[in-house]
Amino acid sequence: MPNLLLSVENLNVVFGSNQILRNITFSVERGESVAVIGESGCGKTVLLKTLINLHPQTSGQVLFDRCDLSQLSYFDLARIRTRFGFVFQQAALFDSMTIEENAAFPLLQHTKKTKSEIAETVKRLLHETGLDDETLLKKPAELSGGMRKRVGIARALALEPELMLYDEPTTGLDPVMSDVINDLMISVRERYGVTSIMVTHDLRSACKVARRIIMLSSLTKLNADEPQIIFDGTPEEFVRSQNKRVKQFTSVSV
């Protein structure tokens, strides 16, 4: 039997009269690295947030380690979310806090570590993500986009999560810095052994970082009987796919 960490069954998300996700079904094994790709507006970020119940599903089921998140109490859901690391699209750092305070926030909220232990952990994580001690006392506005992304990754790693979720991790970055972030995500996977899911429209990033690609299509471009997941396989299979929608995506992404 596969060692499943995450299982999604017939997931549907509807906002008002607008359906975003339809009958999404897939599973992720422990240690897998998955990229969810597709054009803007196809529901990638909604899917990512639904996986940890930041967006409630309209119907269907999301199981994390065999636990149905939609059935948990507020406190149980908060507890199980400490097993996730979420890297938001724009890093979502607290503007009024220093970088040290931003990275320390999860540890202050969810652990009983001493101040010195937290400071040591924060410094180690920032070093591992390529930031030096001079960064600690700066505010987010003083950092480049790439540096803020690194702080976001360091903060997401603070509680030693089992599953890392990345929302458009290279958006807004130049090609050189995008590659730095790609290498960092690979390093995080290899160093910590975490399972990872990233959503992106950056095909180069998806092929470099992930070992499996899932492609979604916007429902407005599908017939009612067509599945929203139009591809699920390796990066090598993706670039060789003869699916017309996959070929169209690759032709405009290279």
Let me know if residue 125 belongs to a domain: no
Let me know if residue 89 belongs to a domain: no
Query: What is the number of residues in the chain?
Result: 254
Q: Which two tokens stand for residue 254?
A: 């290279």
The pLDDT, as a whole number, for residue 87 is 92
Mean pLDDT split into 10-residue runs, the chain, 254 residues = 88 94 96 94 93 92 93 91 89 90 94 94 94 93 92 94 94 89 93 94 93 95 92 95 89 65
Let me know if residue 241 belongs to a domain: yes
In the chain, the number of structural domains is: 1
CA distance 26 to 228: 12
The pLDDT, as a whole number, for residue 92 is 85
Name the residue among 11, 20, 9, 14 with its Cα closest to residue 222: 20
Let me know if residue 4 belongs to a domain: yes
φ/ψ of 167, rounded to 5, equals: -105, 105
The pLDDT, as a whole number, for residue 2 is 67
Torsion region of 97: left, alpha or beta (phi above 0 gives left; psi -120 to 50 gives alpha): beta
- Read off the CATH number of the domain in which 66 is found: 3.40.50.300
The pLDDT, as a whole number, for residue 217 is 94
Let me know if residue 45 belongs to a domain: yes
Let me know if residue 234 belongs to a domain: yes
Query: What are the distances in angstroms from CA 137 to CA 106, 131, 151, 181, 203?
Result: 18, 12, 12, 22, 35
For residue 87, the SS3 value is: strand
CA distance 45 to 137: 31
Let me know if residue 205 belongs to a domain: yes
pTM of the model: 0.90
Let me know if residue 152 belongs to a domain: no
The pLDDT, as a whole number, for residue 254 is 53
- For 223, the domain range is 1-80+197-254
